[in-house]
């Protein structure tokens, strides 16, 4: 068992605050780090101690791993929680933390390194019975060989960068004539972006769904899954809506995917929380894509349907405890949906909308959870991710959760910056989303600013009619008095 009396959270915003809440709940002291742009942020005010890392740009603050480790030594910190983004998937940082005698609250550096490379990940899991997209699992440079392989798997194919992420370095090739040009481009792009020109080939799954499985593993070889998250509603590889459970998984399919995810975790001796990503085609075939070795942005939907605090489990695992649950202990309770509220304008190509939160009032209610890191009056810094908050709701079933979500969006008051809240209403009122028949092309296929404008007009006129009805009803309240008075007069007249 490792002593865990003080934890430094190497992150900012909503996730830093969310992690510190669990740290406090567990009776542990918290240390915040902050940049000069975040001096007065809620995560800084909430922490038991706080240290300034430097100027606003991430490279001089939240990405300065050596400085963070130095502060840990100075302050007697036992563990570092990296959150998501920044240093969270940096295997070299995790190694340095370990070498400094501090506990990294996450997987070991070896598992991080393997899963950080798509080719190493494929290599690692290939001895297990895990479905993968047809293709090759080795870096390829030779165009002739590429043509052979592409011919075998069949066009269209996808060229992917091994070091890539978030769709960077991916190229679709429709026919053999385009292959050599696209391959050269993919290699030079990958070299420029990641310093690693390794690319490989996969069959292109044309309209996939993105379904991921949450896993949890301890240092004793125990690994379980916490069901799926459906994350297909995304825009340019940026997720906007996530839900659990998925509307289309059967219990049997869920079990098979869960077991595959657990095998992926076991293949690299994974510890802590992790997410195994799968693509799912229109026939419900699923394929292992990659593993994310961090706590994910969308973890609240899993917490809501399982009742498990994932950060607490991470800390318990990091300090050497055994998993407290077996697979049979876990059940899906109800349905949860999350909307990421970005300071982006859905009417203007989702351009970041910088400014000050002139008005900021959160929705409340049973089954409504808002994870945020800002307060009314604060300015959204331009240096970091423009996410203001995550709005998550939990209902007894999908319909109930959807209704709660629509009400929570109506109750959420944000003025001063444009947000993706109205875009959320668009998604949650869309037939494709309601029916559950959607894929990763939802936004591209169904969304236009014009449609959103029309919807907003319709909502505005509904609101006007409601106001008018309210006014008229109000007058009706007075009318019975008139009637009574006239009938009284009439009675007098008799």
For ligand MV4, the binding residues (CB under 6 A) are: 133, 158, 167, 202-205, 208, 210, 234, 237, 279, 289-290, 440
Residue 465, strand partner residues:
none
Q: How far is the CB of 260 from ligand MV4 (least distance, A)?
A: 17
Return the number of the residue (152 or 322) whose C-beta is nearest ligand MV4. Answer: 152
Q: Which of 12, 18, 229, 294 is catalytic?
A: 294
Give the residue with the Cβ less far from ligand MV4, 167 or 307: 167
25 vs 444, beta carbon nearer ligand MV4: 444
Find the shortest distance in angstroms from Cβ 209 to ligand MV4: 8
In the complex, least distance from residue 417 CB atom to ligand MV4, rounded to whole angstroms:
26
Please report how close the Cβ of residue 477 comes to ligand MV4 at its closest, in angstroms.
54
Give the Cα separation of 243 and 245 in Å (integer): 6
State the nearest-atom distance from the C-beta of 459 to ligand MV4, in Å. 29
Q: Which is nearer to ligand MV4, 121 or 305 (CB)?
A: 121
Phi, psi of 374 (to 5 degrees): -130, 165
Please tell me the distance from the alpha carbon of residue 395 to that of residue 228, in angstroms, as a whole number. 17
User: Measured from the CB atom, is 208 or 373 closer to ligand MV4?
Assistant: 208
> Which of 235/394 has CB closer to ligand MV4?
235
Nearer to ligand MV4, 75 or 172 (CB): 172
**Least CB distance from residue 147 to ligand MV4, whole Å?**
18
For residue 294, indicate whether it is catalytic. yes
- CB 366 → ligand MV4: shortest distance, Å? 32
Smallest distance, ligand MV4 to C-beta of residue 163, A: 12
Name the residue nearer to ligand MV4 (CB basis): 103 or 162: 162
3-state secondary structure the chain: CCCCCEEEECCCHHHHHHHHHHHHHCCCEEEEEEEHHHCCCHHHHHCCEEEEEECCCHHHCCCCHHHHHHHHHHHCCCEEECCCCCCCCCHHHHHHHHHCCCEECCCCHHHHHHHHCHHHHHHHHCCCCCCECCECCCCCCCHHHHHHHHHHHCCCEEEEECCCCCCCCCEEECCHHHHHHHHHHHHHHHHHHHCCCCEEEEECCCCCEEEEEEEEECCCCCEEEEEEEECCCEECCEECEEEECCCCCCHHHHHHHHHHHHHHHHHCCCCEEEEEEEEECCCCCEEEEEEECCCCCCHHHHHHHHCCCHHHHHHHHHCCCCCCCCHHHCCCCCEEEEEEEECEECCCCCEECCCECCEEECCCCCCEEEEECCCCCCECCCCCCCEEEEEEEEECCHHHHHHHHHHHHHHCEEECCCCCHHHHHHHHCCHHHHHCCCCCCHHHHHCCHHHHHHHHHHHHHHHHHHHHHHHHHHHHHHHHHHHHHHHHHHHHHC
What are the residue numbers of the active site?
294
């Amino acid at each position: 068992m490792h002593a865990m009396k003080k934890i430094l959270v190497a992150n900012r915003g909503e996730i830093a605050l969310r992690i510190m809440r669990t740290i406090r709940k567990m009776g542990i002291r918290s240390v915040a780090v902050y940049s000069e742009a975040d001096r007065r942020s809620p995560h800084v005010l909430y922490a038991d101690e706080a240290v300034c890392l430097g100027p606003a740009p991430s490279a001089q603050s939240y990405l300065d791993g050596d400085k963070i480790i130095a502060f840990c030594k100075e302050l007697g910190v036992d563990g570092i929680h990296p959150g998501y983004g920044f240093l969270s998937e940096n295997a070299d940082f995790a190694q340095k933390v370990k070498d400094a005698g501090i506990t990294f609250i996450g997987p070991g550096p070896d598992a991080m390194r393997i899963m950080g490379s798509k080719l190493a990940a494929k290599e690692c899991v290939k001895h297990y019975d895990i479905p993968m997209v047809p293709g090759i699992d080795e870096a390829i440079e030779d165009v002739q060989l590429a043509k052979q392989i592409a011919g075998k798997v069949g066009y269209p194919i996808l060229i992917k960068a091994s070091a890539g992420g978030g769709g960077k370095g991916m190229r679709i090739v429709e026919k053999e004539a385009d292959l050599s040009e696209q391959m050269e481009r993919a290699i030079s792009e990958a070299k420029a972006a990641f310093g690693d020109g390794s690319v490989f080939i996969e069959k292109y799954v044309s309209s996939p769904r993105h379904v991921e499985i949450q896993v949890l593993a301890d240092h004793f070889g125990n690994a379980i899954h916490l069901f799926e998250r459906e994350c297909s509603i995304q825009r340019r590889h940026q997720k906007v809506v996530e839900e659990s459970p998925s509307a289309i998984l059967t219990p049997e399919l869920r079990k098979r995917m869960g077991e595959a995810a657990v095998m992926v975790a076991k293949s690299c001796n994974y510890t802590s929380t992790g997410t195994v990503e799968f693509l799912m085609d229109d026939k419900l075939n699923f394929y292992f894509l990659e593993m994310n070795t961090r706590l994910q942005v969308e973890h609240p939907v899993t917490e809501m349907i399982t009742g498990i605090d994932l950060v607490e489990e991470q800390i318990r695992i990091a300090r050497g405890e055994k998993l407290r649950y077996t697979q049979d202990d876990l059940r899906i309770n109800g349905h949860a949906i999350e909307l990421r509220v970005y300071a982006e304008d859905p009417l203007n190509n989702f351009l970041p909308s910088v400014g000050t939160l002139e008005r900021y009032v959160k929705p409340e209610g049973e089954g409504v959870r808002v994870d945020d890191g800002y307060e009314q009056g604060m300015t959204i810094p331009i240096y970091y991710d423009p996410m203001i908050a995550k709005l998550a709701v939990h209902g007894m079933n999908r319909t109930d959760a959807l209704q709660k979500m629509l009400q929570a969006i109506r109750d959420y008051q944000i003025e001063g910056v444009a947000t993706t809240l109205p875009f959320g209403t668009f998604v949650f009122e869309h037939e494709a989303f309601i029916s559950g028949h959607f894929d990763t092309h939802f936004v591209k296929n169904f969304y236009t600013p014009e449609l959103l404008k029309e919807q907003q007009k319709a909502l505005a006129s509904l609101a006007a009619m409601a106001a008018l009805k309210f006014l008229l009803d109000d007058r009706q309240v007075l009318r019975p008095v008139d009637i009574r008075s006239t009938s009284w007069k009439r009675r007098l007249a008799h």
